[in-house]
Structure 1
Amino acid sequence: MATTVSVLDAVPFALDRTSPVPLYYQLARQLEEAIEHGALAPGNLLGNEVDLSARLGVSRPTVRQAIQTLVDKGLLVRRRGVGTQVVHSQVRRPLELSSLYDDLEAAGQGPATRVLRHERIPAPARVAAALGVPEGGEVTALERLRLTHGQPVAFLRNYLPADLLALDTARLESSGLYRMMRAAGLTLHSARQTVGARSATAEEAALLEERDGAALLTMERTAYADTGRAVEYGTHIYRASRYSFDFQLLVRP
């Protein structure tokens, strides 16, 4: 059941009225940080605009604009008869060789998986080239929907050499693929990865519970074991409203 939260009790707001930054933006950023850091958890109610404006000493339009900013980002939702409610924080994933499942679990995001496809198929040309197997040779094809707090975040399509390891659908729904590889004695060493963006097709939008044409992040990755063997080729799509990649850029000496 949702818990009614006093925003001032949960978040140490500090609105600078002398700053050129609009008050609504300051309020939205501080609410967003509170959600990201767990001070406001999924299910928490923020109260109504009248109460919030009185507590914070700002106008209702300021509160309304701040809340709408986070509604547009997918962090808050307005529910008739309930009020404004925290839905989730955005998933921020570092660009490193790690499993989405492990990253979500480490961030306390409550990952869950639905396996939509698990079968052996003849390798298409692109998959064969990535995995270094003959075209038409047998590979394992996986399609999974990754969710957090009951809502879809990503659709994952992966291909593995058929002889790599035994995969069980039940385990795929309760664990991450890379975790299963490590448990089988495989040591992941490196990956080639490309990140992009595009609009969702109608089918993808329905699967991810987004609107038609919504922005998606894309990732294509080939992962290698410490032996140099290609062990996984994946093409993934992520809801841009709920997901982002973190980059750390270093200056060459």
Structure 2
Amino acid sequence: MKFSIDHKSHVPLYIQAEELLRDLISKPEYADGKFLPNEVDLARQLAISRTTMRLALNKLVYEGLLIRKKGVGTKVAAMSVSSRSNNWLSFSQEMQARGIPIKNFELHVSWVLPPEPVAHFFEINADKKILKLERLRGRPEEPFVYFISYFHPRVGLSGEEDFKRPLYDILDKDYMIIATLSKEEISAKAADKFIASKLETEAGSPVLFRKRFVFDQGDRPIEYNLGYYKADSFIYTNESRRE
């Protein structure tokens, strides 16, 4: 594919290059995760310096439209999935409501001794095993979130449940437990080797880390959830209304 810009135009070259890139990434052959031609080839075709080309590329990287990896190249960012903090749905229900197909890449159920923060949250002894649920989920083409959930023994989960069903649907319909309140802590961190391997990214890459503390109708703790989201594939939005 040939690219060109107007060198006689009063519009600066880097802005023309930026607009050309915006048009380029909207085309089917480059959209949603495809690699662009390399910077040198683009600059040569447009008859501009690499510095000018880099200015245009960096603008789109800053906006989250492109992803650059040293030694690999520049690719179009896949459309980000977003989640709203004031929308009380399970992950499966929320993605279904948005029309986003979700695949379970891994699902592991085990009985473990609770880590200290979990035991403290549940107000239970650390020598009693509890149910741990691990799920690696994402779009059909790649995972973008790794969940770890611990459940209070009071909930009564056996570990034999069909966890391909929406989690809070299981709690509500099978155990008469309604998840009513969620308190969350959100931070950014670098992926360690384990999380990087799960999310198919590089160690040290940014991830969105979310702790979720879930309570039932009686404000009793029922779930301690950790979520690791691939930063370039997920947006977490928060909405507040002033009364």
TM-score by length of 2: 0.70
Matched, 1:218 2:213: no
User: Where does residue 114 of structure 2 map in the other structure?
Assistant: 123
Aligned-residue CA RMSD in angstroms?
3.9
Distance 1:125 1:46, change over 3 A: closer
How far residue 207 of structure 1 moved from its aligned partner, in angstroms, is 1.3
Distance 2:91 2:239 in 1: 18
Larger Rg computed on CA atoms: 2
Instruction: Provide Cα deviations, 1:74-127, integer angstroms capped at 9, x if missing partner.
Output: 9xx999xxxx8x774101111133322222222222112234431112222211
Distance 2:47 2:109 in 1: 52
TM-score by length of 1: 0.67
- Structure 2 counterpart of 1:183, one-letter code: K
Q: Sequence identity, in percent?
A: 19
Distance 2:220 2:189 in 1: 30
Distance 2:47 2:228 in 1: 38
Aligned residues: 215
- Is the contact between residue 88 and residue 149 of structure 1 (CA under 8 Å) also seen in structure 2? no
Matches within 5 A, 1:28-177: 69=61, 70-72=65-67, 88-96=78-86, 97-164=88-155, 165-168=157-160, 171-172=162-163, 174-177=164-167
User: Where does residue 9 of structure 1 map in the other structure?
Assistant: none
3-state SS of the aligned residue for 1:210? coil
Matched, 1:183 2:178: no
User: Where does residue 241 of structure 1 map in the other structure?
Assistant: 232
Unaligned stretches of 5+ in structure 2? Answer: 1-9
- Is the contact between residue 119 and residue 141 of structure 1 (CA under 8 Å) also seen in structure 2? yes
Distance 2:20 2:172 in 1: 44
User: Where does residue 14 of structure 1 map in the other structure?
Assistant: none
Distance 1:31 1:106 in 2: 30
User: Where does residue 185 of structure 2 map in the other structure?
Assistant: 194
3-state SS of the aligned residue for 1:126? helix
* Runs of 4+ off more than 3 Å: 21-32, 40-43, 45-49, 59-71, 166-169
How far residue 220 of structure 1 moved from its aligned partner, in angstroms, is 0.5
Unaligned stretches of 5+ in structure 1? Answer: 1-16, 54-58
